[in-house]
Each structure stands twice: as structure tokens, then as C-alpha cells.
Amino acid sequence: MSEQKIIGKGTWIDKLAFELLEREKQIGRNIDLIRVESGLGASGIPHIGSLGDAVRAYGIKLALENFGYKSELIAYSDDLDGLRKIPEGLDVKEEDIGKRVSVIDDPLCDEHDSYGSHMSSLLLDGLNDLGIKYVHKRAYETYKDGLLKEQIHRILVHSKKIGDKIEELTGQQKFQNVLPYFPVCKNCDRLYTTESLEYITNEKKVRYRCKDSEIGSKIIKGCDHEGESDITKDLGKLTWKVEFAARWQAFDIRFEAYGKDIMDSVKVNDWVSDEILEFPHPHHVKYEMFLDKGGKKISKSLGNVITSKKWLNYGTPESILLLLYKRITGARELGFEDIPGLMDEYNELENIYFGKTKVDNEAKLVKSRGLYEYVNLLNPPKNSVTHVNYRLLIELCKIFKDNRLKHVTSKLIDYGTIKETNSHVEDLIKYAGNYSDDFEETKITATKITIDDSSKKWFISDSSWRYIINSGTYTIFKLTRTRTISIDQWIHYGWAWFLFKIYTKKNNLMMNMRFKN
């Protein structure tokens, strides 16, 4: 392998920011200020993956600044999005389906003016908790202030050409017949029941009809109203297939990441941006999707959704940032049981950064140091904090429920894990205490395991699982340091771990891993 040049701090974030810069230079655009954007949906309960979009875009901003450029993150919340489906557990009226989330009552508290505001605030609070700085823009104001009116006009003038292109790129024929714009029905206030029939160019108005429409696999009754909607006012919105392009040009956006689920939209938007609006589309990267432990797209229903707020009961902001900055591609299953591993992984990175753990591989060293700096938003602490193994803390917190802080602290001192307590150790005990109170430990009686050759192969390829399982009861503990294990042992432990995973998934149990010194 040839030696690779290290870019910036050696992480994927630096590489991406570098590509972006190279592309901008090639296009020849002004790069005095480079804006990056993230979109925040305001129609569902935001989970930790929803934060990822903004957190990672912020990483790009930091990398650009590190290269000596000025940059800014625009966090755009689409609160004009219509409600397609009522998230499970939310008290929202059926008749609100198809309405803009900015006009639906807040179902969760009295503090916000709408459903959309509540959901946006959850996301923004999450970003604030992590220390992410951004300029917030709302769809509601963007349209009200007419910031997209020129782009909307141009798109509607070229709607025939765009309809053809949408069919060519995605196979969707709908926009051959209707305009890519949803007026809000003047009579029933819904926008996903309206169909735009004609653009009256000199008046800048869209003629529409409100009709029965399929929204979120349900037929929603239209009210048959026919009317005209002024595109310079906040009386409608572009469909996502073309709206990003309008926004990119209006806000001068040079980078936006996207998830696999909106890949088709991005393809169309790139073309609209380049060919119709004559604004070279921003640089992109496809980011990782988070799945729940059943391998499905993460649930957005109330109760079981993994929000940053809940996460922060059990783990530090750094554990979330580490999760989001570790890598960007692929898909991964995510649950609260990932917190102990991330907490300990952060400590390990800190040890590498401060030279307490030696890493021989130069590339790995640079990358680990770089990752540590990004997790600290390029403002790493001067000194390492006291480290206590998180799983050990969970175990101690399980034993000591009353007067926990005092007892756990004195045990840690007895063990020689810490010399004295401090506010960081107290925080850790609080996190681990919440974790041990909320998640039950699962033990499964051992069974004899035999495996065939094809399973062996499967296990060797799944090298991400480095766990050992005791016989007797399956007490699982993570290898905190690499030890030498024979292939046979590997296969045995890997297979048992696999069964354990299946068992817990099947029985819907929250797992907890026991730590052993």
C-alpha cells in the first residue's frame, strides 16, 4: 500500500471538506463564506439520527474553518411540511392530516405555538445540549418573507421540462400532469390534498383544486374547492423534489448531506439546481441511516424513540458526538445499550490523545486524535479527566441504590480506581445510576453449542463483535484490551454472542453487559 497524505486532522470529515473546497475552486465560485446546510423535519418526533444531519454538517463547517475558511451552518426546519401520519402515542386529530405542522396545535405542551414548533424545539434543544452552533431558518418565515419567490417562479415556468426529468430520473409520472407546488387550500387549510393545474405566469398565481388524495397510504377527503394561490405569499410550498434546489440557491448552500431515503429527491434537485436555476448544486455525501435493534428504520412513535434528551440521562454529550462522528456511511443498529461501549470508547480515545495509550500505527494514531478533537468540536480539553469504566459503575450502582453517590465513591476509592472524587466522577455515577435503574440485566442459562463450517465462516467475517461469554450463565463483558484468542475460542464466543443477540431481540429485552476486571 502506498503512503497516503494526511488531510487536515485525518478523519472522513476533513476529507469531505477538502473535496468540497476542491470542487468550489474548480467551479470558480466565491469562497469567502461557505455555507453548509442541514434539514430538520418537523413532522415527527426527532430521534438521535435526526440530529446527525446537523451535527455532521457542523463537523464540515469546523473542518473548513480549520483549513482557514469562514463557514456557517444553516439549520432549516421544514415546519410547512404537512402531517402525513399521526405518530403513535400523540394526541392529534385525524382531521389534521394533510395540514401544515405549523398550524396544528401542539399535542405535547402549552409552551409552543404549534406541533411543528414543538418538534423543531426538541431538535434545536438537542443541538444546543451538544454545543452545536447554527443559524436557524424556518420554512414558515422563508415563505412568508418571499425568499424563494424567484426560484418558485422559475421552476413553475419550466414545470413541463422538470416533469419529464422527474420521470426520467425516478420513474414518477405525477409531475407530468401537476405542478411541483402544493397550494394551501383556502377552504380546508390542507396542502397535500391540493393539485396544481396551471401556472398563471403574469399574475404569479397557481390554479388548484382540492381533491381526495392518498396521504401516508390513507385516502384523505378533499373539499372540492377550486382557487388560485399567489406564489409570492405563504400560501403554498414547493414539493421536496424541487424545493431543496430553490433553497440552495436562495441561501447559497455549498454542502448538504442526505440519507438514502431521499436519494431520488436529491437527484432531481441537483438537476433543477444546475439546469433550471443555474446554481451548481452543493457538494453531497450520503450518510449512515440508524436502525432500531430489529433492523428497521428507527421508530418515531412516542415512548420508544431514542431521543438525545433521553440519551443524556445515561451518557455524556461526547458519547452522542462520538456516535455521530465515528463514521458516516452504511447503516447501523442503535439502542441505549450502545451507551456503555461509547462511554468507554471515548475514554480510550482520550488516552490515545494524551499519549497514555500507545498506538504504533501512525495512520490510526492521527485518525484517533482527529476523531477525539471533532468529538470535542475542535476545542479539546487541556487535560484528561478521571476515567472510570462505565460498566463497572453500572455494576456498583446496581448494588448501591440508597445513598448511592457516597457508597459508590467510597468503593471506587477502595478499589484504587480513583484517588478522590470530583464533579466529573459524580456526573458519571449519576449517568450510570440512571442506566442501572432503567435497564434490567438479562441472564441466560448456558446451552451446549455446536456449529457447522458455514457458521464459522460467518463469524470470522463479523469481526466487530469482540465479546467473551462465560459458561454457566452467559455473563458478557467486553474486551477492553486486545487479547490473544485462538480462532476456536473466537468462533465459540462469537456464536454464543450471536445466539444471545437473537434471544434478546426475539424477547424484546434490553441488554446490559457485565463488566469483569
- Residue 210 binds Zn ion (CB under 5 A): yes
Query: How far is the C-alpha of 222 from the C-alpha of 212, rounded, in Å?
Result: 4
Instruction: Say how many residues touch Zn ion, by CB under 5 A.
Output: 12
Q: Of the two residues 108 and 499, which places its CB atom closer to Zn ion in the complex?
A: 108
Of the candidates 143, 159, 163, the one whose C-alpha atom is nearest the C-alpha of residue 231 is: 143
Query: How far is the C-alpha of 390 from the C-alpha of 344, rounded, in Å?
Result: 6
Q: Of the two residues 195 and 275, which places its CB atom closer to Zn ion in the complex?
A: 195
Query: How far is the C-alpha of 498 from the C-alpha of 504, rounded, in Å?
Result: 10
- Residue 186 binds Zn ion (CB under 5 A): no
Q: Which of 161, 225, 398, 430 binds Zn ion (CB under 5 A)?
A: 225
Torsion of CA 501, 505, 507, 511, to 10 degrees: 60
Amino acid symbol at 471: S
In the complex, the smallest distance separating the C-beta of residue 235 from Zn ion, rounded to whole angstroms, is 13
Place of cell 484517533: 368
Q: Which of 112, 267, 326, 398 binds Zn ion (CB under 5 A)?
A: 112
Query: How far is the C-alpha of 458 from the C-alpha of 78, rounded, in Å?
Result: 43
In the complex, the smallest distance separating the C-beta of residue 283 from Zn ion, rounded to whole angstroms, is 35
Helix (H) or strand (E) holding 355: none
148-177 residues near Zn ion, rule: CB under 5 A: none
In the complex, the smallest distance separating the C-beta of residue 221 from Zn ion, rounded to whole angstroms, is 9
- Residue 302 binds Zn ion (CB under 5 A): no
Q: Of the two residues 83 and 148, which places its CB atom closer to Zn ion in the complex?
A: 83
Q: Of the two residues 226 and 292, which places its CB atom closer to Zn ion in the complex?
A: 226
Span of 125-133, 185-193, 339-347, 402-410 interacting with Zn ion by CB under 5 A: 185-193
- Residue 185 binds Zn ion (CB under 5 A): yes
Show Cβ contacts of residue 164 under 8 Å, excluding neighbours closer than 6 positions: 176
Query: How far is the C-alpha of 277 from the C-alpha of 151, rounded, in Å?
Result: 7
Query: How far is the C-alpha of 60 from the C-alpha of 370, rounded, in Å?
Result: 13
Q: Of the two residues 88 and 212, which places its CB atom closer to Zn ion in the complex?
A: 212
Place of cell 478523519: 11
Q: Which of 61, 99, 118, 293 binds Zn ion (CB under 5 A)?
A: 118
Place of cell 484490551: 481
Collapsing DSSP states into helix, strand and coil, what is residue 25? helix
Query: How far is the C-alpha of 280 from the C-alpha of 372, rounded, in Å?
Result: 34
Span of 105-113, 315-323, 356-364, 368-376 interacting with Zn ion by CB under 5 A: 105-113
Query: How far is CA 510 from its chain centroid?
Result: 22
In the complex, the smallest distance separating the C-beta of residue 190 from Zn ion, rounded to whole angstroms, is 6
Cell triple for 143? 415563505
Q: Of the two residues 108 and 513, which places its CB atom closer to Zn ion in the complex?
A: 108
Q: Of the two residues 102 and 265, which places its CB atom closer to Zn ion in the complex?
A: 102
Intra-chain end-to-end CA distance of the chain, in Å: 38
One DSSP character per residue, 38-49 reads EEEE-SS---HH
In the complex, the smallest distance separating the C-beta of residue 106 from Zn ion, rounded to whole angstroms, is 4
422 burial via Cβ count (<10 Å: 0-12, 13-18, 19+): exposed
In the complex, the smallest distance separating the C-beta of residue 189 from Zn ion, rounded to whole angstroms, is 7
Q: Of the two residues 99 and 254, which places its CB atom closer to Zn ion in the complex?
A: 99
Q: Of the two residues 111 and 488, which places its CB atom closer to Zn ion in the complex?
A: 111
- Residue 57 binds Zn ion (CB under 5 A): no
In the complex, the smallest distance separating the C-beta of residue 480 from Zn ion, rounded to whole angstroms, is 42
Query: How far is the C-alpha of 354 from the C-alpha of 241, rounded, in Å?
Result: 47
Q: Of the two residues 108 and 451, which places its CB atom closer to Zn ion in the complex?
A: 108
In the complex, the smallest distance separating the C-beta of residue 146 from Zn ion, rounded to whole angstroms, is 24
Q: Which of 19, 72, 105, 106 binds Zn ion (CB under 5 A)?
A: 106
Query: How far is CA 78 from its chain centroid?
Result: 16
In the complex, the smallest distance separating the C-beta of residue 144 from Zn ion, rounded to whole angstroms, is 21
Cell triple for 454? 458455514
Q: Of the two residues 45 and 55, which places its CB atom closer to Zn ion in the complex?
A: 45
Is residue 397 within 8 Å of 429, Cβ to Cβ? yes
Span of 134-142, 187-195, 308-316, 458-466 interacting with Zn ion by CB under 5 A: 187-195
- Residue 109 binds Zn ion (CB under 5 A): yes
Span of 82-90, 183-191, 306-314, 405-413 interacting with Zn ion by CB under 5 A: 183-191
Span of 73-81, 90-98, 173-181, 223-231 interacting with Zn ion by CB under 5 A: 223-231
- Residue 220 binds Zn ion (CB under 5 A): no
Cell triple for 71? 463557514
Place of cell 422563508: 142
Helix (H) or strand (E) holding 199: strand 194-200
Q: Which of 147, 169, 223, 510 binds Zn ion (CB under 5 A)?
A: 223
Q: Of the two residues 112 and 297, which places its CB atom closer to Zn ion in the complex?
A: 112
Torsion of CA 332, 335, 339, 345, to 10 degrees: -10
In the complex, the smallest distance separating the C-beta of residue 115 from Zn ion, rounded to whole angstroms, is 8
Q: Which residues are near Zn ion by CB under 5 A?
A: 106, 108-109, 111-112, 118, 185, 187-188, 210, 223, 225
